Structure formats: structure tokens, C-alpha cells
Amino acid sequence: MTDLRGPYTYSSALGDDDCVAGTYKAEVDGWKLTWSDGMYQLHGYRRGDVVPTLDLLFSHKHPEDRPRCEEIVAQVARTGGYFCMYHRIIDSRGKTRRVLSSGEGILGPDGKVSVIEGVMVDLTSTLQRETEQTARDAVAGATSTRTVIDQARGILMAQLKVGSDDAFKLLVTASSHRNVKLVAVAAELVQLANSVDARQFLDRAVMAIQAESLGKTGAGAAQREVKPAPGHRPTPSSVRASTAGRRAG
């Protein structure tokens, strides 16, 4: 029996870590199977532990996936052509793996399918790594968003002498009034507070947010004209705040 070489593999999620994969060959007449070492590993064996057969192959398919896998293999055995199956297998140790199996039914001189050969790749670790990274990114994004909103709430509390809940309600109202995300309103307010050049627009921006919560377009200090520093380009928040002030006048 000729030993098959395993495929060259790479997973962007795993980097330099191994991505388990194997190649296989099945002679349709008599269904004689040949596996590379990777195929044995995927199914929880070492070369010499078992003799690969079609029944053994299908016995490791997840019960919910097995019928469809059998249908596709039977179809390829009849007509040839390429196939690709993402499904689950259960190895000899009871571990469930998510694999991608692809291959081709090759026609012989008589025009009938003589051989099916292809590759099987274990995607379990790749999917797990990507899921974990997505979860970490989501947590980091949520933490960052909460931090910005808390900072903006603190600015409104200090400027308007209001409580935490009232400050948050002001941000929510401004977000709804402007039809932009809450974090965007908060981020622009924090930007004004942290920028030396733009800090002069902070009072105007705060008053504009307060006015929006009252259903007005401007009030009190929001009507005062504040000239920008030489060479300074107003931020989006300062432009909206300035517009609110002019409308009030």
C-alpha cells in the first residue's frame, strides 16, 4: 500500500501552530482506502491501529451529518466531479472535531469513476481560536465604550451640577435627537474636554446637550459667541453646538 503525503496547511488563526490535516484515496471498485498519517490522527488512531474502510470512515461521522455525507460520496462515485463537505466527526477517544473534507471523483478509461481522492482538514482549533478572539474583541469594545460614556457623564455632572442618572439621560436624549450612537456623542464631548485648543467649545457643547434635553435649540450660555483659537479647526461637536446657539438667537 502506497503511503500518501499529508497536505501543506496554514491557518491564519493558529499562526505557527499545527493545523491537522490528511489526504485519502479510495478505489471505488472494492472500496479500498488509503490514508495519510494525518487521516489516522484525525480519527484518533496511529498507523497500524486499524485498516481504513468505508464503514470505519462513516462510523466516525456525527450521527446528524452521516446521512448527507453518505449521499454525497455515493453521488460522486456515480458521476465523478468535485465535492466539499463541512461536517463533524467523532474520533476514537470521543472527541468531536469539525472538519472540512474535499475531493474529486476521477474517471477511468471506461468513463466510470475509478478513484475518489482528496483532503480532510481539522477546523476545530481554528474556529475555537477565532471565536475566542471575537469574544475578547467584543469585551474590549464594550469596556472601551463604557469608559468613554462614563467620562462624558462625569463631564456633564461637573458642568451642569447634576446627578449621574440625569447626566446619562442627557446623553441618551442628545443621541436620539441627533440620530447618532450614544458613544459618538460621548466621544466628541470627551474630545472637547481633553483638547486644549477645543476646550473653549466645551461649555457650548454641554449647553447644547442640555438644550436638546429640554426640547429647545439653544439656551443661556449656548447663545454666547465663542471665537476659536487662531488656526484651530472646530470639531463636529463644536460646529453643532455653535449652530444650536445661532438658531436660539
Nearest to 188 by CA among 242, 135, 231, 148: 148
Per-residue pLDDT 10s for the chain (249 aa) are 456 776 766 666 556 557 788 999 999 999 999 999 999 999 999 999 999 999 999 999 999 999 999 999 999 999 999 999 999 999 999 999 999 999 999 999 999 999 999 999 998 877 777 666 566 666 666 666 778 888 888 888 888 888 888 888 888 888 888 887 888 888 888 888 877 666 667 777 777 888 877 765 444 433 333 334 344 444 444 434 444 443 434
Whole-angstrom distance, CA of residue 203 vs CA of residue 218: 12
Specify the pTM.
0.53
DSSP letter (8 states) at residue 15:
B
